[in-house]
Amino acid sequence: MTTNSKTNGFDENETSPQEVGSNDPISSALKQVYDEVANEPLPDKLNSLLEQLRNGDKK
Amino acid sequence: MSLEDDLIAQTNNLRAFARSLVHDQTRADDLVQETILKGWSNLSSFKEGTNMRAWLFTILRNTFYSEIRKHRREVEDIDGRYAAQVPDKPTQHGILDLRDFNEAFATLPADQREALTLVGASGFSYEEAAAVCGCAIGTVKSRVNRARARLVELLDDDTGSNDRSEGELLAALGSGGDAGRK
């Protein structure tokens, strides 16, 4: 198992650092690249996996 | 929402984070698949009410670095395949050319790419990013600052050699903070 227990206990609503603004070109490009991938349709392989998990096949 | 649903809902974010680490799309999706399976089989160790995304990102990151240790040459993007996959988009006022950006981003060390992605794109606080990376908050800040300075430097150089008539990139970079400017 490779989880990090320190991850637990964070406030999910904590805001992002102010220093990394959203208005400068680097931040904008970074978010655009990230969002493009995050908004892509999932590939068949992952859809199939998620479907199996939802159906309880792998639990 | 059940924990299972919460985990599944993070798949798209996991893909975006994975692609910042592993530029090859197939490998990135393999990493996501492995992360989901590990998360799913270890859901009982997740503390309800805490940050599922941070928990999964930590699993993904640890899996990524385990792969690097095993197959360093295969995981690193030594041939620039990631940059080649990025669609070319025209430069607009105040917006970086995404191909230029990705080419520059791909040259950053993995620890800087992940810090910048976590803080600058995934919406994590420095504290959360530090926990995901297993390092001090100051280390994350340092990596983010170095990454941004290096990107400015690379994109500044690129603009100079590209002879863009508008000079927009230089102006745009100037508006976003001068860290690392020459």
Q: What is the CATH number of the domain that holds B157?
A: 1.10.10.10
Q: What distance in Å separates the CA atoms of residue A59 and residue B39, rounded to the nearest whole number?
A: 11
From B21, B40, B72, give the residue that closes a domain: B72
Tens digit of each residue's pLDDT (9 = 90 or more) over A9-27:
333 334 345 444 556 889 9
Residue B87 domain flag = no
Give the global pTM: 0.73
Q: Is residue B101 part of a domain?
A: yes
User: Would B83 be classed as within a structural domain?
Assistant: no
- B46-86 pLDDT per residue, tens: 998 899 999 999 999 999 999 888 876 554 554 455 554 54
Q: What CA dihedral angle connects B147, B150, B155 and B160, to 10 degrees?
A: 170
Enumerate residues 14 to 43 of chain A having a beta carbon within 8 A of any beta carbon in chain B: 14-17, 19-21, 23-35, 37-40, 42-43
Based on the domain organization, do B106 and B166 belong to the same domain?
yes
* Residue B106 within any structural domain of the chain: yes
pLDDT, residue B156, reads 82
Query: Which residue in chain B is spatially nearest to A51 when comparing CA positions?
Result: B8
> Is B57 in the same domain as B29?
yes
Domain count, chain B: 2
**Same structural domain, B23 and B57:** yes
Domain of residue B20 covers 3-72
Whether residue B109 contacts residue B141, with contact meaning beta carbons closer than 8 Å, is answered with no
Cβ of A43 within 8 Å of Cβ of B29? The answer is yes
Q: What is the pLDDT of residue A2?
A: 40
Q: Which residues of A touch B48 (CB under 8 A)?
A: none
Q: What is the pLDDT of residues A27-48, one digit of tens each?
A: 999 999 999 999 999 999 999 9
Domain with residue B18: its CATH number is: 1.10.1740.10
Residue of B nearest to A6 (CA): B131
From B13, B40, B72, the end of a domain falls on B72
Per-residue pLDDT at B164: 42
Name the residue in chain B with its Cα closest to that of A40: B12
Residue B77 phi/psi, 5° resolution? -90, 70
**Same domain? B156 vs B97:** yes
Evaluate whether residue B81 is within a structural domain: no
| Whole-angstrom distance, CA of residue B133 vs CA of residue A25 | 25
| Same domain as B68, residue B14 | yes
Q: Is residue B133 part of a domain?
A: yes
Contact list, A21 vs chain B (CB under 8 Å): 176-177
* Residues lower than pLDDT 50 in chain B: 75, 78-79, 84, 86-93, 161-182
Question: Given an 8 Å threshold on Cβ–Cβ distance, is B55 in contact with A1?
Answer: no
Residue with tokens 């590209």: B162
Residue B181 in domain: no
B98 and B46: one domain?
no
User: Is A34's CB within 8 Å of B122's CB?
Assistant: yes
Of B4, B42, B119, which is closest to A1 when you measure between CB atoms?
B42
Residue B180 lies in a domain: no
Contacts of A18 in chain B (CB under 8 A): none
| Of the partner residues A7, A9, A50, the one whose CB lies closest to the CB of residue B11 | A50
